[in-house]
Amino acid sequence: MGAGDAMGAAAQANPNIDPGTSLGTSAAPDFRLVNQFGQPMSLSQFRGKVILLGFEDSECTTVCPLTTQSMVFAKELLGQAGSSVQLLGVDANPDATAVSNVLAYSRVHGMVNQWAFLTGSVAQLKKVWSEYHIAVQVQNDQIDHTPALFLIDQQGRLRKVYLTQMAYTGVGQSAQVLAQDISALLPSHPKLASQQSLATIPGQGPTTRVSLPAAPAPATPEGTTVALGPGQPRLVVFFATWLAETSDLKSELLGLNAYQTVAAARRLPELAVVNETVTEASPAAVGTFLSGLDLTYPVALDESGRLADGYGVQDQPWLALVNAAGKITWSHDGWLPVPEIQAAVTAHSG
């Protein structure tokens, strides 16, 4: 078995990535919407380029950022040949369809000049969703949509569809799968700038002892690390800086200072705050964001996504209470006022 065959087999066996499903060579339905600057754009205007077309909720905090990062990484892996690739997104949130919504998403993910994020009226978007078989539902104020990413060739033909899995470790691997398939469509068949194994990457759960580097911050000395694992109870809070689009992130992080103080006084589980670095727009994004914050705790960097997968993180932010044996006794999706966090921690500790 050759190296390519081995990688293909590993990708097929990896539940955290989708190697893609062939769509033959049928024509990709054309559409005309506006981008994040309010400029009209059509799919057909990019004829001659390979297109990655994703459907993204403009306020998504779950799977969409994983898709977005995979698209960017895939283009980067192609080096100069990436100039022959166009990244497109279509808004999949019927409640946030303004140009300002797609621009805000593009900004917090460092995508303003990396792609075209398209939107329009709800009727226009519904037509595109229908033509691409994208199911969009609103349930309990939450948007649920098909996390599909389409590969379209230079002649405007659909070639493959990929479904993003909710796995942080799969971001880089998915990017490699995309880049390999794009390379096959480009005349030069460029080699990828780097390659990694496509075998399943094991998560690092609460029963695993790990030491993560801490982000640079005013009160965090250089070289600081954050230890996690069994031995003592902890309240672990996962977040990404792009949450600033949908919440007052600085206030939420500063508010955790109060939990830190109360936890020490009442012997509650200590706080551990973890940044999902694998989904950040750049390695420097975290340090830049934290530079003006007076936090009394370090922020650990989950650079591979293994911790998030091991702790079962399904959204950002994500709170997980872990007992001394390394068992998750309570988890919560979204921010909570500190008194409510204290009450939940007290009720589920033991």
Could you tell me how many helices (H) and strands (E) the chain has, helices first?
9, 17
Show contacts of 343-347: CB within 8 Å, 24+ apart. Answer: 345/235, 345/263, 345/268, 345/269, 345/321, 346/268
Which band of pLDDT confidence, cut at 50, 70 and 90, is reported for residue 2?
low
| Fold that domain 210-348 belongs to in CATH | Glutaredoxin (3.40.30)
CA distances, 38 to each of 56, 99, 117, 119 (Å): 17, 6, 10, 9
Distance CA 348, CA 350 (A): 7
Per-residue pLDDT of 32-91, as tens digits, reads: 999 999 999 999 999 999 999 999 999 999 999 999 999 999 999 999 999 999 999 999
**Over residues 287-303, mean pLDDT:** 94
Query: Does a cis peptide bond (omega within 30 degrees of 0) precede residue 317?
Result: yes
Give the mean pLDDT of the chain: 95
Instruction: Kindly state the tokens that stand for 321.
Output: 């209470």
Paired tokens of 77: 């892996």
Give ranges for CATH 3.40.30.10 in the chain. 3-185, 210-348
pLDDT digit string, tens, across residues 274-283: 999 999 998 8
For 299-342, write each residue's pLDDT tens digit. 999 999 999 999 999 999 999 999 999 999 999 999 999 999 99
Residue 167 CA to residue 66 CA, distance in Å, equals 8
The CATH superfamily label for domain 3-185 reads: Glutaredoxin (3.40.30.10)
- What's residue 10's pLDDT? 84
Torsions phi, psi for 35 (to 5 deg): -90, -170
